[in-house]
Amino acid sequence: MVTWMNVGWVEVRASRLNSRSGIPLRGSRASTHPTGVPEIAKSLLALACICLCVSPALSMAEEPQVIVEMDRSRIYQGESVLYRVTLNHVENPSPPELAGFDDFDVTPLGEQSLDSRRVTIINGRRTETVRRGRAYNYRLTPRKTGMLRIPAPTAEVDGRVLRGRELTLRVVAPEDQDLVQMEITVDRDSVYPTQPFTVTLTVAVKGLPDPSSSREPLGVQSSPPALKIPWVDDDKLSDGLEPAVDWQHWLGRLQDRRGVGFGVNSISRDSIFSMFESQALTFRPSAKRVTRRDKSGNEADYWEYRFARKFDPKQIGVYTFGPATLKGTFATGTGQAGRLTGEDVFAVAPSAIVTVKDVPEQDRPDCYIGAVGRFRLSAKLMPKKTRVGDPMTLTLELQGKGSLDGVMPPDLAGVPGIAEQFKVYEATEDVRRGTCRFTYSLRPLVEGTKTFPPVPVAFFDVDEDRYVTLRTEPIPIEVAKADRLSGRQIISGPGSMGRNHKELEARSEGVFANVTDLSAVRNESIRPGRWLAALGGMAGFYLALALVVARMQRLSGDQSRMRRRAAAAKARRRMHAALDELKSRDVRRGTDNVQAALLGLVADVTNLPEAGLTSKDVGRQLAGFGVEDDLAHRIVELLQTCDAAQYGVSSVGPDELRQEARTLLDALIKTLKRKRLFR
Q: For the ranges 51-55, 133-137, 221-225, which has the lowest average pLDDT?
A: 51-55
Query: What is the predicted pLDDT for the residue at 526?
Result: 63
**pLDDT for residue 525:** 59
Q: Which residue has the higher pLDDT, 597 or 482?
A: 597
pLDDT of residue 309: 97
Q: Region 381-390: what's the mean pLDDT? A: 92
pLDDT at residue 19 is higher than 50: no
The pLDDT of 486-510, averaged and rounded, is: 49
Displacement of CA 535 from its chain's centroid (Å) = 47
Identical fold at 65-172 and 368-480? yes
pLDDT value of residue 527? 66
Q: What single DSSP character describes residue 359? A: P
CATH number of 368-480: 2.60.40
CATH 1.20.120 fits 561-674, yes or no: yes
Q: CA 95, CA 408: separation in Å to the nearest integer?
A: 42
Closest to 188 in 3D by CA, of 196, 180, 177: 196
Please state which of the ranges 166-180, 193-207, 425-439, 636-650 shows the lowest mean pLDDT.
636-650
* CA distance linking residue 504 with residue 530, whole number of Å: 29
> How far is the C-alpha of 575 from the C-alpha of 586, rounded, in Å?
14
Which of the residue ranges 89-98, 270-279, 481-490 would you say has the lowest mean pLDDT? Answer: 270-279
CA distances in angstroms from 300 to 284, 346, 417, 616, listed in the order given:
22, 20, 73, 42
CA-nearest of 309, 220, 225, 314 to 265 is 225
pLDDT higher than threshold 50 for residue 158: yes
Q: What are the pLDDT digits (tens) for 336-345?
A: 777 888 889 9
pLDDT category of residue 85 using cuts at 50, 70 and 90? very high
Residue 480 has phi, psi (to 5 degrees) of -90, 165
Q: Contact, 252 vs 596, CB < 8 A?
A: no
Architecture in CATH of 65-172: Sandwich (2.60)
- Of 375, 413, 407, the closest CA to residue 394 belongs to 413
Average pLDDT over residues 91-112: 90
Residue 652 is predicted with a pLDDT of 67
Dihedral sign, Cα of residue 388, residue 392, residue 397, residue 403: positive
Provide the 8-state DSSP code for 92.
Answer: S
Least confident of 83-97, 121-135, 295-309, 438-452: 121-135
Predicted local confidence at residue 611, as pLDDT: 67
Task: Say if CB 488 and CB 475 are below 8 A apart.
Answer: no
CA–CA distance, 150 with 54 (Å, rounded to integer): 34
What pLDDT is attached to residue 253? Answer: 92
Q: Which CATH number fits domain 180-356: 2.60.40, 1.20.120, 2.60.120, 2.40.100?
A: 2.60.40
Q: pLDDT at residue 77 above 50?
A: yes
User: Does residue 290 register a pLDDT over 90?
Assistant: yes
Share of the chain above pLDDT 90, in %: 35
Q: Which of 51-55, 397-401, 561-565 has the highest mean pLDDT?
A: 397-401
Residue 552's pLDDT band, with cuts at 50, 70 and 90, is: low
pLDDT score for 646: 59
Residue 375, beta-bridge partner list: 400
Angle among Cα 255, 604, 645 to the nearest 5 degrees reads 45
Span 143-171, mean pLDDT? 92
Residue 284 burial (CB count, 10 A)? 18
Question: What is the per-residue pLDDT for 9?
Answer: 31
CA angle 626, 630, 636 (to 5 degrees): 85
* DSSP-derived 3-state class of residue 53: helix
Give me the residue spans of the domains in the chain: 3-61, 65-172, 180-356, 368-480, 561-674
* Residue 554: predicted pLDDT: 61
- The answer to whether the CB of 333 falls within 8 A of the CB of 312 is no
Asked if pLDDT for residue 190 goes beyond 80, the answer is yes
CB 365 within 8 A of CB 458: yes
Cis bond before residue 528 (omega within 30° of 0): no
Mean per-residue pLDDT for 100-123? 83
| Separation between Cα atoms, residue 578 and residue 307, nearest integer Å | 28
User: Residue 92: pLDDT above 90?
Assistant: no
Q: How confident is the model at residue 221 (pLDDT cuts 50, 70, 90)?
A: confident
pLDDT band at 377 (very low <50, low <70, confident <90, very high): very high
For 63, phi then psi, to 5°, come to -70, 135
Residues contacting residue 397 through CB under 8 Å, at least 6 positions apart: 377, 378, 379, 380, 435, 436, 437, 438
Tell me the mean pLDDT in the region 45-66: 56
Question: Is the pLDDT assigned to residue 236 strictly greater than 90?
Answer: no
What is the DSSP annotation of 550-618?
Answer: HHHHHHHH-HHHHHHHTHHHHHHHHHHHHHHHHHTT-HHHHHHHHHHHHHHHHHHHHT--STT--HHHH
Strand order in the sheet with 324-334: 263-264, 226-228, 324-334, 340-349
CB 328 within 8 A of CB 253: no
Over residues 292-307, mean pLDDT: 94
Most confident of 304-313, 543-552, 599-608: 304-313
Q: What is the C-alpha to C-alpha distance for residues 102 and 105, in angstroms, rounded to an integer?
A: 8
Residues with Cβ within 8 Å of residue 567, at least 6 apart in sequence: 600, 601, 604, 605, 678
Write a three-state SS string for 192-229. CCCCCEEEEEEEEEECCCCCCCCCCHHHHCCCCCEEEC
pLDDT at 226 over 90: yes
Share in percent of the chain as helix, strand, coil (round to 5): 25, 35, 40
CA dist., res. 228 & res. 414, Å (int): 55
